[in-house]
């Protein structure tokens, strides 16, 4: 037995014997075949943990990397969960990603560079969301990795910062001629702002450092007409998919983003609301994290948007409540913590996006090219565009549409979401013809 333990210690030397001792593995380890060699099964657990830390969380992808079947990989994951090496979703049994937090970001070696560390600290002080900050850091790391330079030299002056960016963008275009640069531009501007290097709008455009989105306005006006929305709804009802149908109708009636819909709770739906004249009314509140206003919900800063949807949605929500799980959330059981409920909401969001795409595919041949492209790229966001365009066609002003959605400015209505319809253009032409000499 002692000889076996010595042999085992030697085999685990490659991953660190101290790491092995953290987990209560059995002394009688089973040896399995792994990439042509027979090794202790626990070594595979550590390999899986390394892959998870790299961001590989799909069971199929893990199985492919390990050279094992999906069923066998699931058994490994269940065993690892007992040893608390990974976390699995209690309901689905799927692997959960570890939450992104500021401490984890600060431990990155790249972030240890003094100039980068100061910028990251500034972002944390401004309450930039951990997920957003991680994307910023990833972009800045890529920029400095492409054009190797000392951040201290880059921030020495505005001219140096522009020169560095020019070198980077030339090299980037050589490698990626058709890819956008929005995330890189936003991250780089954010980094420079920590050192009081900012660009007026025109100067930013001149040097390719505008904060405008790559597809700014490209999908303005994409929407589904009444016949298509009715057909999609009928497909859902025919499949008896009341869950997706309810999600779909909420999106069409409130224009909320997918995460706001996924996190909805029954206590923020007011079924007994009345109008001033005593007639029946209805309102609900949705938490949008893209507008941080000090309204904390599930551990995230955002803003509660109040909506007054038509009464047909009230009837549908009451029907869904009779089918839904007995929980304060519309789509999932309460996980007992903000972190778990955020994960549950993300899981529901991904599931709904996948379902929406399957229904969209069945009607994709009946819409124009831009709408077909957007409906597969942003399935839930398409409902936001659809409602905005329908309101525009009905004669509502940009200000009225923005107020209805709770948007901070009406400019985005015409530049991002809507455009003047052909019917409206014809009406305007006829009016102009009557007043022209």
Query: Are both 260 and 146 inside the same structural domain?
Result: no
pLDDT at 158 over 70: yes
Q: Does 325 map to a domain?
A: yes
Query: Are both 74 and 111 inside the same structural domain?
Result: no
Question: Could you tell me which residue, 40 or 141, shows the higher pLDDT?
Answer: 141
Query: Are both 202 and 245 inside the same structural domain?
Result: no
Question: Could you tell me which residue, 206 or 324, shows the higher pLDDT?
Answer: 324
Taking CA atoms, 389 is separated from 114, 280, 371, 416, in Å, by 48, 27, 13, 11
Query: Are both 376 and 264 inside the same structural domain?
Result: yes
Q: Does 273 map to a domain?
A: yes
Q: Does 311 map to a domain?
A: yes
Structural domain span for residue 45:
2-82
Asked if residues 227 and 390 have their Cβ atoms less than 8 Å apart, the reply is no
Percentage with pLDDT > 70 across the chain:
83
In this prediction, residues 38-50 reach a mean pLDDT of 79
Q: Does 261 map to a domain?
A: yes
Question: Could you tell me which residue, 198 or 427, shows the higher pLDDT?
Answer: 198
Q: Does 369 map to a domain?
A: yes
Query: Are both 201 and 264 inside the same structural domain?
Result: no
Question: Is the pTM above the cut of 0.85?
Answer: no
Token pair of 95 as six digits? 């692997």
pLDDT bin (cut points 50, 70, 90) of residue 1 is very low
Query: Are both 77 and 130 inside the same structural domain?
Result: no
Query: Are both 147 and 264 inside the same structural domain?
Result: no
Q: Does 432 map to a domain?
A: no
Give the Cα separation of 49 and 40 in Å (integer). Answer: 15
Instruction: Supply the CATH number for residue 269's domain.
Output: 1.10.443.10
* Pick from 212-216, 273-277, 285-289: least confident: 212-216
Query: Are both 356 and 401 inside the same structural domain?
Result: yes
Q: What integer pLDDT is reported at residue 24 of this predicted model?
A: 55
Taking CA atoms, 119 is separated from 2, 65, 128, 167, in Å, by 53, 36, 11, 22
Q: Does 190 map to a domain?
A: yes
Question: Domain total for the chain?
Answer: 3
In this prediction, residues 395-403 reach a mean pLDDT of 82
Q: Among the three residues 158, 174, 206, which one is the final residue of a domain in this structure?
A: 206
pLDDT tens, position by position, 352-396: 999 999 999 999 999 988 889 888 988 888 888 888 888 888 888
Query: Are both 111 and 58 inside the same structural domain?
Result: no
Query: Are both 56 and 121 inside the same structural domain?
Result: no
Question: Could you tell me which residue, 409 or 196, shows the higher pLDDT?
Answer: 196
Q: Among the three residues 82, 111, 144, which one is the final residue of a domain in this structure?
A: 82
DSSP code per residue over 318-347: HHHHHHS-SSSBSSS---SSHHHHHHHHHH
Taking CA atoms, 129 is separated from 53, 100, 206, 293, 338, in Å, by 20, 9, 30, 13, 15
Query: Are both 202 and 231 inside the same structural domain?
Result: no
Q: What integer pLDDT is reported at residue 318 of this predicted model?
A: 95
Question: Could you tell me which residue, 103 or 227, shows the higher pLDDT?
Answer: 227
Q: Among the three residues 151, 177, 206, which one is the final residue of a domain in this structure?
A: 206
Query: Are both 282 and 372 inside the same structural domain?
Result: yes
Q: What integer pLDDT is reported at residue 3 of this predicted model?
A: 45
Q: Does 221 map to a domain?
A: no
Classify residue 140 by burial, with Cβ atoms within 10 Å: 0-12, 13-18, 19+. buried
Give the Cα separation of 103 and 105 in Å (integer). Answer: 5
Token pair of 224 as six digits? 């589904």
């Amino acid at each position: 037995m002692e000889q076996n333990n010595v042999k085992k210690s030697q085999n685990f030397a490659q991953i660190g014997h101290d790491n092995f001792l953290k987990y209560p593995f059995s002394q009688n380890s089973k040896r399995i075949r792994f990439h042509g060699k027979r090794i202790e099964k626990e070594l595979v657990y550590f390999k899986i943990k390394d892959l998870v830390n790299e961001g590989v969380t799909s069971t199929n992808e893990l199985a492919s990397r390990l050279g094992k079947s999906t069923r066998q990989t699931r058994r490994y994951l269940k065993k690892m969960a007992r040893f608390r090496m990974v976390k699995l979703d209690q309901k689905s049994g799927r692997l959960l990603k570890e939450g992104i937090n500021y401490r984890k970001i600060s431990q990155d070696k790249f972030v240890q560079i003094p100039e980068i560390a100061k910028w990251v600290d500034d972002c944390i002080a401004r309450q930039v969301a951990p997920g957003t900050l991680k994307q910023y850091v990833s972009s800045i790391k890529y920029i400095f990795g492409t054009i190797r330079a000392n951040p201290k030299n880059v921030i020495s002056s505005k001219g140096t910062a522009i020169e560095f960016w020019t070198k980077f963008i030339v090299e980037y275009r050589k490698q990626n001629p058709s890819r956008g640069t929005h995330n890189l531009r936003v991250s780089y501007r954010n980094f420079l702002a920590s050192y009081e290097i900012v660009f007026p709008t025109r100067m930013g455009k001149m040097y390719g450092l505008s904060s405008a989105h790559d597809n700014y306005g490209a999908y303005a006006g994409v929407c589904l007409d009444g016949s298509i929305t009715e057909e999609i709804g009928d497909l859902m009802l025919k499949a008896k998919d009341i869950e997706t149908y309810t999600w779909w109708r909420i999106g069409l009636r409130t224009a909320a983003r997918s995460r706001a819909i996924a996190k909805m709770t029954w206590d923020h739906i007011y079924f007994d609301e009345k109008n001033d004249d005593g007639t029946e009314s209805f309102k609900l509140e949705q938490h949008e994290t893209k507008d941080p206003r000090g309204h904390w919900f599930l551990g995230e800063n955002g803003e509660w948007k109040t909506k007054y949807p038509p009464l047909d949605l009230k009837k549908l929500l009451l029907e869904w409540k009779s089918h839904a799980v007995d929980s304060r959330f519309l789509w999932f059981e309460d996980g007992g913590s903000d972190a778990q409920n955020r994960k549950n909401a993300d899981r529901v969001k991904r599931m709904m996006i996948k379902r929406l795409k399957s229904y969209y595919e069945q009607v994709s041949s009946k819409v124009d090219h831009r709408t077909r492209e957007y409906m597969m790229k942003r399935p839930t966001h398409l409902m936001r565009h659809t409602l905005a365009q329908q309101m525009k066609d009905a004669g509502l002003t940009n200000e009225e549409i923005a107020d209805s959605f709770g948007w901070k400015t009406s400019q985005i209505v015409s530049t991002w979401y809507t455009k003047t319809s052909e019917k409206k253009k014809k009406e305007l032409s006829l009016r102009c013809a009557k007043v022209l000499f």
